[in-house]
Amino acid sequence: MKIILSFLILLMITFSVVAQQDPGNYDEAKISPYTLPDPLVFNNGSKVITNKDWEKRRKEIYKLFSEEVYGVIPSWKGEIKMTTVSRKETALDGLATREEVMLHIKNGDKQLNVLLLIYLPHSSKKVPVFLGYNFYGNQTITSEPDITLTPGWVRNNNAYKITEHKATEASRGLFVTMWPVKDIISRGYGVVTLNYGDIDPDDRDDFKNGVHRLYNEKHDSTSWGKISSWAWGLSRVMDYLETNSKIDAGKVAILGHSRLGKTALWAGASDKRFALVISNNSGRVGAALTKRIFGEPLDFMHEAIPFWFCDNFAKYTGKESLLPVDQHELIAMIAPRPVYVASAQEDLWADPKGEFLSCVNASPVYQFLVKEGFPVAAMPPVNHPVFGTIGYHIRTGKHDVTPYDWQCYMNFADFHFKRKSK
């Protein structure tokens, strides 16, 4: 029953903003020829020759993404305090230690509280972790009944009695299939998660809530949209993880699904402390190329979810060719750190082929920096992951995070983190 409910909720999350969607283009033959910017060529036409050049070029690309796509993430000079809300050493039938930690993120006299749920395998050494947001609160990701209901903003959902954006008992365990915590713990990884609404509500709220309360903002055309807020939030969690003596802060893998996959990529580009980045079905303005017009159209985003981006981004609606960047450069900015992109065969809205092509076109930057980029030029068959410093798979099925996806992520993390330990 829970699994059916979670599937229905997933559909609602996906389609809540898709109600009157422009169906978009689903015909390869109708894609007009497009030119991608070369990440290894500066805006003035000169070429990247040295690693130092790349750092400069990377800044140039980052500025364009900040000012034209996601919005500028403001610098952070505040402080973070924590309180332990609960601790259990025999969680998950004794497999893990579980902690709920409240972060009090303070900027002067302003404060934002966010609640982390942390599962760690028993180990005498520091452990690597997967860090990712959840959609409806920490209580949704596990069937353990004693997790604190998220106090933060959640999407209203009549079927689950969620009104006024407050989580309910009915939402417990709804997303367990998206978070196979026992498997992850058994593989030696910890899990750190939090509700994305704790950082910033996913709403048209004129940027008045969540993290925006911490800053005295004047909203302008380059101000941060919600994806930047959520990326900022992952960095604040990282600030805390660096102080946790049980966690190997040099091996924090971030992952996210869909809008949170877009967020994971942008967070990975924005904060070099994230050792590995995973995009699950992130689609348009995530891993998929924007200039390749297939699947979700920008005019849909402009109508339904403009607040995910900065206001400047609106000017590219229907004028994708004018965008000074494309999403392969978002991946390239994560180089030389490993990045994994996952698509789903039936998730045409997210343009699986466009996600794949971003990996292909980010590869030259990885090759330039570490010799090993993306190992294939043609799309692999379904359920055949490919691993280089960039990894990719397209699996059978729909827009979702499945145990299969997680197996691939853990294999990819093993592949890179073990090499790093040698």
Question: Under the rule (CB under 6 A), what is the footprint of ligand GCU?
Answer: 13-14, 17-18, 258-259, 283-284, 296, 349
C-alpha–C-alpha distance, residues 314 and 293, integer Å: 16
Whole-number minimum distance, CB 102 to ligand GCU, in Å?
26
State which amino acid sits at residue 151: P
Whole-number minimum distance, CB 281 to ligand GCU, in Å?
7
**Catalytic residue among 212, 328, 399, 416, which?**
399
Between the CA atoms of 167, 117, 113 and 108, what dihedral angle is there, to the nearest 10 degrees?
A: -160
Active site residue 186: no
- Asked whether the beta carbons of 155 and 202 are under 8 A apart, the reply is yes
C-alpha–C-alpha distance, residues 103 and 101, integer Å: 6
Largest CA distance in the chain: 59
Give the pairing of strands 339-344 and 390-395: parallel
C-alpha–C-alpha distance, residues 59 and 41, integer Å: 13
Active site residue 258: yes
What's the order of all strands across the beta sheet hosting 276-280? Answer: 79-90, 96-107, 110-121, 190-195, 127-134, 247-257, 276-280, 339-344, 390-395, 386-387
Choose between 38 and 299: whose C-beta lies nearer to ligand GCU. Answer: 299
Whole-number minimum distance, CB 158 to ligand GCU, in Å?
19
DSSP state of 67: I
Whole-number minimum distance, CB 80 to ligand GCU, in Å?
27
State which amino acid sits at residue 375: P
Residues forming a β-bridge with 105: 80, 112
**What is the Cα Rg of the chain in Å?**
20
Whole-number minimum distance, CB 11 to ligand GCU, in Å?
10
Choose between 210 and 295: whose C-beta lies nearer to ligand GCU. Answer: 295
Choose between 286 and 364: whose C-beta lies nearer to ligand GCU. Answer: 286
Choose between 24 and 74: whose C-beta lies nearer to ligand GCU. Answer: 24
**Catalytic residue among 6, 258, 282, 343, which?**
258
Whole-number minimum distance, CB 288 to ligand GCU, in Å?
9
| Cα torsion angle, 200, 339, 403, 145, sign | negative
C-alpha–C-alpha distance, residues 357 and 287, integer Å: 9
Choose between 14 and 140: whose C-beta lies nearer to ligand GCU. Answer: 14
Choose between 19 and 377: whose C-beta lies nearer to ligand GCU. Answer: 19
| Residues labelled catalytic | 258, 399
